[in-house]
């Protein structure tokens, strides 16, 4: 099988966004008729790469060849024409249509001007039978569960004639037995000669299904392994994924005080279907303490942070110092002195089409230097924005430019500077140094450490394990919405942490 033709070959793919290099010199060979997994941390460049392969974005450099011929994709329809199909992580189905209608939507078989449902039904049941995808074509999609919906998505791409399937984090939404079913389906597809590209960061799953695994780290392919012929463990993969090049923040002496700043009891957040995304967690943070949360993205981190800020509704109890803030508004929490660096800066932390100094006010629009009573004070807000720009080395010609004009790293520096202003008592931070260059990263760490010495409590979520280990006094490992273990940052290595995060540690 390993000698057969290449279904997909990517050579020297580069993709740059303003201020960020998403993909640098990516090389990927996918053998026809195999399941090929692409693993890497979030932000490593997996999704950009798949968007390039599916024609949603164009590479700046590099070539794509499908079944041996070089092609240029200008849009997803070009990719579909060459037999590539994408199953998105978020399903794109119309709830009020039947399974059949959803599958044919957009490429309906026609008989004159009439829809030929009989023909479609036949085609679909043929495809379904060949690939072991059991679905009832006449059920409304709204009545189906997640696993069935995913099967419909797969049928949809097969119906359009796809021979190469891209599955983007397909198991993120599934419960374990659904994952098993999906894997059976994938094995059937492979038997039919189809090629599957499987994107994931769950290493144990990848090892059980993939014929070949390519690891991406910081935008580039760092290696490929064949789990059938090479003896690789989840631990080895985690090591490849995490790497070890960034400067390590050095932990400084104990600054932890007695006062408990944040006390969380039995916090749970539920998804719409009732599934617990955050599952009954409790912890506390004292003044001068940094508690880190380690976990693969999507295991509930964003929801914990949103719940603590009062943005997402949750059950349980949250106490800030002596005050029960469980039912308090986001604004009240911010006014108490809780700074927040959210995970998604474009969605949650910035007004992209507003000048920097207005962004400096965001989230702090009720306090000095931004407001006095009900009136805004633009002059002092601008002065303070200049201070942040200088102290945090935000590279910008002036403070009147729109936030969208800055590179991601400089936007992040502005956000960190803003949230560290006004002497917060508690900082809730997700990936505080994501996207910033190495020098600025060290400066941000210094700022956080400095504030900690004067009693700042920090809840830190980070995908950068060195950062997590270097800054935290205490690390909690989050898996599927639960704290599954604690790690001592004084002794744990990034490799051990990476393994524990993926759940592979339980087996190892």
Partner 1 sequence: MNLRRIGTSLIAPAIGLFVSLAVTAVILVAIGASVSTVFSSMWNYGTSPRAMSLMLNLATIYFLSALAVSIGFKMNLFNIGVNGQYVLAALAAAVVASNLTLPKVASVSITIFVAMFVGAAWAGISAWLKVARGVSEVISTIMLNFIAIGIISYIIVRTPIGTETSLNIRGTKAIPETGMLRGIAFIDPGTQIYGFFFIAIFIGVAYWFLLNRTRFGFDLRATGKSATAARTSGVQSNRMIYVTMLLSGAVAGLVGLPYLLGDTGSYTLQFPTDWGFIGIAIALLGRNNPLGIALGAILWAFLDISSGQLVLEGVPREISTIMQGLIVIVVVISYEVVRRYQVKSEQTSVAKALAKQEASV
The binding site for partner 1 (CB under 8 A) comprises 18, 309, 311, 329-335, 340, 342, 347-354, 358, 361-366, 371, 374-376, 378, 395-398, 400-402, 404-406
Which residue number, 33 or 409, has a Cβ lying nearer to partner 1? 409
Count of other CB atoms within 10 angstroms of residue 373 = 7
As a whole number of angstroms, the distance between CA 418 and CA 359 comes to 9
Q: Which of 193, 306, 322, 77 is nearest to 314 (CA)?
A: 306
Count of other CB atoms within 10 angstroms of residue 395 = 13
Instruction: Give the three-class secondary structure for 228.
Output: coil
Phi, psi of 467 (to 5 degrees): -65, -45
**CB 481 to partner 1: min, Å:** 21
Instruction: Give the three-class secondary structure for 131.
Output: helix
As a whole number of angstroms, the distance between CA 30 and CA 83 comes to 14
Which residue number, 15 or 333, has a Cβ lying nearer to partner 1? 333
- Residue in this structure with the two tokens 């999906």, named with its chain if needed: 182
Which residue number, 78 or 391, has a Cβ lying nearer to partner 1? 391
As a whole number of angstroms, the distance between CA 150 and CA 308 comes to 32
Q: Which of 12, 41, 22 is nearest to 238 (CA)?
A: 41
Spell out the residues 6+ positions from residue 180 whose beta carbon is closer than 8 angstroms to its own: none
Question: What does the radius of gyration of the chain's CA atoms come to, in whole angstroms?
Answer: 25
Q: Which residues of 151-186 are buried (b: 16+ CB within 10 A; e: fewer)?
A: bbbbbbbbbbebbbbbbbbbbbbbeeebbebbbebb
Which residue number, 17 or 77, has a Cβ lying nearer to partner 1? 17
**CB 234 to partner 1: min, Å:** 35
**CB 376 to partner 1: min, Å:** 5
Which residue number, 294 or 416, has a Cβ lying nearer to partner 1? 416
**CB 401 to partner 1: min, Å:** 6
**CB 409 to partner 1: min, Å:** 12
As a whole number of angstroms, the distance between CA 427 and CA 412 comes to 15
Which residue number, 294 or 406, has a Cβ lying nearer to partner 1? 406
Which residue number, 349 or 469, has a Cβ lying nearer to partner 1? 349
Spell out the residues 6+ positions from residue 258 whose beta carbon is closer than 8 angstroms to its own: 286, 287
Beta carbons of 273 and 256 less than 8 angstroms apart: no
**CB 479 to partner 1: min, Å:** 26
Which residue number, 38 or 381, has a Cβ lying nearer to partner 1? 381
CA atoms within 13 A on the CB side of 478: 28
**CB 424 to partner 1: min, Å:** 14
**CB 353 to partner 1: min, Å:** 6
Which residue number, 333 or 476, has a Cβ lying nearer to partner 1? 333
Q: Which two tokens stand for residue 436?
A: 């910033």
- Residue in this structure with the two tokens 């991601």, named with its chain if needed: 408
Q: Which of 64, 66, 74 is nearest to 11 (CA)?
A: 64
Count of other CB atoms within 10 angstroms of residue 264 = 20
As a whole number of angstroms, the distance between CA 234 and CA 241 comes to 10
Which residue number, 94 or 401, has a Cβ lying nearer to partner 1? 401
**CB 302 to partner 1: min, Å:** 11
**CB 331 to partner 1: min, Å:** 3
**CB 390 to partner 1: min, Å:** 13
Instruction: Give the three-class secondary structure for 384.
Output: helix
Which residue number, 176 or 375, has a Cβ lying nearer to partner 1? 375
Which residue number, 46 or 333, has a Cβ lying nearer to partner 1? 333
Q: Which of 218, 226, 225 is nearest to 242 (CA)?
A: 218
**CB 414 to partner 1: min, Å:** 13
């Amino acid at each position: 099988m390993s000698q057969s033709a290449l279904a997909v070959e990517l050579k020297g793919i580069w993709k740059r966004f303003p201020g960020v290099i998403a993909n640098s010199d990516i090389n990927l060979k996918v053998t026809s008729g195999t399941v090929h997994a692409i693993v890497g941390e979030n932000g490593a460049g997996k999704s950009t790469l798949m968007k390039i392969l599916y024609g949603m974005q164009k590479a700046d450099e590099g070539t794509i060849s499908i079944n041996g011929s070089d092609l240029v994709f200008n849009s997803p329809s070009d990719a579909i024409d060459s037999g590539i199909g994408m199953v998105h992580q978020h399903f794109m189905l119309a709830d009020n249509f039947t399974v059949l209608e959803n599958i044919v939507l957009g490429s309906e078989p026609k008989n004159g001007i009439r829809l030929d449902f009989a023909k479609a039904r036949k085609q679909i049941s043929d495809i379904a039978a060949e690939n072991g995808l059991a679905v009832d074509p006449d059920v409304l999609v709204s009545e189906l569960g997640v696993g069935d919906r995913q099967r419909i998505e797969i049928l949809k791409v097969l119906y359009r004639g796809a021979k190469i399937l891209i599955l983007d984090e397909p198991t993120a939404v599934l419960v374990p037995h659904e994952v098993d079913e999906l894997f059976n389906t994938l094995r059937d597809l492979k038997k039919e000669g189809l090629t599957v590209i499987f994107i994931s960061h769950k290493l144990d799953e990848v090892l059980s299904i993939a014929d070949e695994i390519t690891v991406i780290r910081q935008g580039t392919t760092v290696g490929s392994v064949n789990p059938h012929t090479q003896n690789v463990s989840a631990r080895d993969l985690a090591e490849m994924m995490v790497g070890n090049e960034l400067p390590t923040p050095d932990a400084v002496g104990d600054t932890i005080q007695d006062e408990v700043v944040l006390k969380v009891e039995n916090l749970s957040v539920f998804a719409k279907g009732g599934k617990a995304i955050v599952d009954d967690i409790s912890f506390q943070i004292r003044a001068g303490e940094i508690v880190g949360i380690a976990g693969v993205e999507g295991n509930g981190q964003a929801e914990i942070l949103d719940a603590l800020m009062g943005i997402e509704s949750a059950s349980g109890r949250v106490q800030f110092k002596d005050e029960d803030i469980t039912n308090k508004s986001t604004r009240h929490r911010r006014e108490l002195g809780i700074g927040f660096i959210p995970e998604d800066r474009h969605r949650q932390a910035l007004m992209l089409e507003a000048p920097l100094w207005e962004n400096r006010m965001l989230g702090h629009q009720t306090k000095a230097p931004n407001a006095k009573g009900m009136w805004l004070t633009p002059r002092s807000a601008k002065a303070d924005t200049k201070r942040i720009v200088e102290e945090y080395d935000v590279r910008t010609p002036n403070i009147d430019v729109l936030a969208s004009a800055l590179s991601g790293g400089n936007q992040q520096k502005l956000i960190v500077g803003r949230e560290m202003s006004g002497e917060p008592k508690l900082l809730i931070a997700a990936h505080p140094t994501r996207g910033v260059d190495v020098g600025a990263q060290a400066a941000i760490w210094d700022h956080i450490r400095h504030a900690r010495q004067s009693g700042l409590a920090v809840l830190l979520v980070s995908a950068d394990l060195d950062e997590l280990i270097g800054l935290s006094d205490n690390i909690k490992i989050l898996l599927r919405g639960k704290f599954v273990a604690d790690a001592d940052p004084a002794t744990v290595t990034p490799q051990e942490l990476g393994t524990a995060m993926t759940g592979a540690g339980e087996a190892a």
